[in-house]
Structure 1
Amino acid sequence: MRIIALLAIRNEALYLERCLRHLTEQGLESYLIDNDSTDDSLEIARAWLGRGLLGIESRPYPGFYDWRGILERKAELAVELGDHWYIHHDADEIRQSPVPGQSLAEAITAADAAGYDAIDFLEFVFVPTAHTQDACGADYVTALPHAYYFQPNPLHRVNAWRHAGSVDLLSFGGHRAEFPGQRLSPEPLILRHYPFLSWTHLVDKYQRERQYSAYEVEQLGWHGKRASFDAREARLPTSEELIRPDVEGWRTDQPWATHPFLEGG
């Protein structure tokens, strides 16, 4: 059984090496859509061809973050590449089993064997807790140990699926893969999310670099505060507010419904 992570990137050199290595070590393959990256992303990716990375395709950058087009292409790829398991994956994510010693491939294989064809992920957001903390260029998984459990709504991250036909990634903006007759595993897996690695990275990413589609923001209601990011309204949570999952376990008793780095709070 094959499990393929579908990645779309634009200038993700800070994350890409760590992401591709983790996927390969966890027994997965990956396929990359490059959105006209101008940093070292393509060079990093090409080094993984034949070592877990199945292919790289180019997607023109239209001057904004074409999330709708990217999701449509990922849905097409899940048909074109064949009847396998897929994960709608981003470069700033690390996915794993909650069971120590079990690989991600083993966890997904177990769900498949039990008759399920979709899997939810519990999202833990790992962030710096001080303006001076900088994990850029470091092993950010080690450098950023504090996180909050993010659950704005139930089944927030149904991002892994196996379906021979078409899949709907648009209705929930990529947060859920939808298809008829879906059999969702009752055992969610873990998503470690690292949206930014320093305060400067946060401001650069959302205030300077990333431009959003007016149609997606105004007509589809996507992207929320990311599309109107204001550093004056952002804050970094303190370490006392957060948990250390590698020490305390994957605690879900205090879910957060908003991101402090976008909305304060």
Structure 2
Amino acid sequence: MRRLERLVRRLRRRPRPRTIALLAAYNEERFIRGCLEHLIGQGVEVYLIDNGSTDGTARIAEEYLGRGLVAIEPFPREGGVYRWREILERKEELSRSLDAEWFIHVDADEILLPPRSRQTLASALAEAQEAGYNAVDFREFVFVPTRESPDHDHPDYQKTMRWYYPFQPAPGPRLMRAWRRQEGPVGLGSRGGHRLNFPGMRLYPEKFLMKHYLFLSVPHLLSKYGNRSFRKEELERGWHGWRAGLDERRITLPSERELKTCGPDGTLDFSNPRTRHIAAGWTAGE
């Protein structure tokens, strides 16, 4: 305990290392404001890659330029195809060229949190760095609408959509989303954005947290994933999962009884995680 107290005092005296979240978005006007405000409030700056959005995503993001948003970089969506590997490789390039100590790979429908409630993401990463670590893994909590409460397509979705399931398809680290600056590749582009791999990697033993809001209603689900096109080579790698074969006729929302409930204090329970997404049963051929 005394050692921890001394560490906390040292961290308070030192300037926190600059952290930049690398956020790619396509037509995420529902999520972009909440995502930016959360990250900036956590002491993290944001670099946005706008993947050819045709809605208000870029317009909303522009409000935050100079107020925590570093830049908005256009990334054309050629032929309407989602080029995930190229986006991830661009994030890797940015992590070697931008002037920051830590980088976070994040999507607009994700809320990333430190392991303890009294921390911020920035202070928790500074603590990991002080302890000699250079990579961080996250635990995933997936929030979804339910049969009893099917529509949360509004700005206050985080307050009203409180039902979730912890997700861990296999043992071991799977969401290695934050890393300390490296001179070479970190493996983000070759592993679908899930795992990192670089020389001298030291994974922080304490898990950070991710609240993942896959969709806010069935119409939102269909508009977000129903007509999305993916590159053949990415599908052959097993990337994108249920998103690549969504069948509207098979969609059945879970009951609240099948899920955990996030209480007023925000506590999340990772016991008995699901190994398959609920939406995995909504694809053709399942």
TM-score (norm 1): 0.94
Contact 1:234 1:262 in 2 (8 A): no
The structural deviation recorded for 1:57 is 0.7
Q: Is 1:159 aligned to residue 214 of structure 2? A: no
CA distance in 2, matches of 1:83, 1:12: 26
Cα displacement string for residues 185-242 of structure 1 (whole angstroms, at most 9, x for unaligned residues): 000111000010101111222213x211122113x22112211111233332211111
Matched residue pairs, number? 263
The structural deviation recorded for 1:139 is 1.4
Cα displacement string for residues 42-100 of structure 1 (whole angstroms, at most 9, x for unaligned residues): 11111100010001111111121100110010000000103510111000000112322
CA distance in 1, matches of 2:126, 2:157: 28
The residue aligned with 1:120 is 137
CA distance in 2, matches of 1:128, 1:217: 27
What secondary structure is seen at the aligned counterpart in 2 of 1:106?
A: helix
2:55 to 39, 50, 55: 39
The residue aligned with 1:90 is 107
The residue aligned with 1:190 is 209
Percent of residue pairs bearing the same amino acid type: 46
The residue aligned with 1:252 is 270
Cα displacement string for residues 105-154 of structure 1 (whole angstroms, at most 9, x for unaligned residues): 11111111111100100000000012762221221111111110011122
The structural deviation recorded for 1:10 is 0.9
RMSD over aligned CA atoms reads 1.6
CA distance in 2, matches of 1:159, 1:165: 17
The residue aligned with 2:98 is 81
The residue aligned with 1:29 is 45
Matched residue type, 1:14? R
Matched residue type, 1:11? N
The residue aligned with 1:57 is 73
Contact 2:136 2:204 in 1 (8 A): yes
CA distance in 2, matches of 1:143, 1:11: 22
Contact 2:24 2:48 in 1 (8 A): yes
Q: Is 1:4 aligned to residue 23 of structure 2? A: no
After superposing the two structures, state which structure 1 stretch, 33-42 or 253-262, moved more.
253-262
What secondary structure is seen at the aligned counterpart in 1 of 2:40?
A: helix
Q: Structure 1 pair 180/90, CA: closer, same or farther in 2 (3 Å)?
A: same
Contact 2:242 2:279 in 1 (8 A): no
Matched residue type, 2:159? T
The residue aligned with 1:141 is 158
> Rg: which structure is higher?
2
After superposing the two structures, state which structure 1 stretch, 148-157 or 161-170, moved more.
161-170
Contact 2:35 2:110 in 1 (8 A): yes
Contact 1:10 1:36 in 2 (8 A): yes
CA distance in 1, matches of 2:198, 2:268: 29
Contact 1:36 1:60 in 2 (8 A): yes
CA distance in 1, matches of 2:181, 2:149: 45
Q: Structure 1 pair 261/31, CA: closer, same or farther in 2 (3 Å)?
A: same
Unaligned runs of 5+ in 2: 1-16
The residue aligned with 1:217 is 235
The residue aligned with 1:261 is 279
CA distance in 2, matches of 1:28, 1:112: 15
Contact 1:8 1:35 in 2 (8 A): yes
Contact 2:148 2:255 in 1 (8 A): no
Matched residue type, 1:187? E
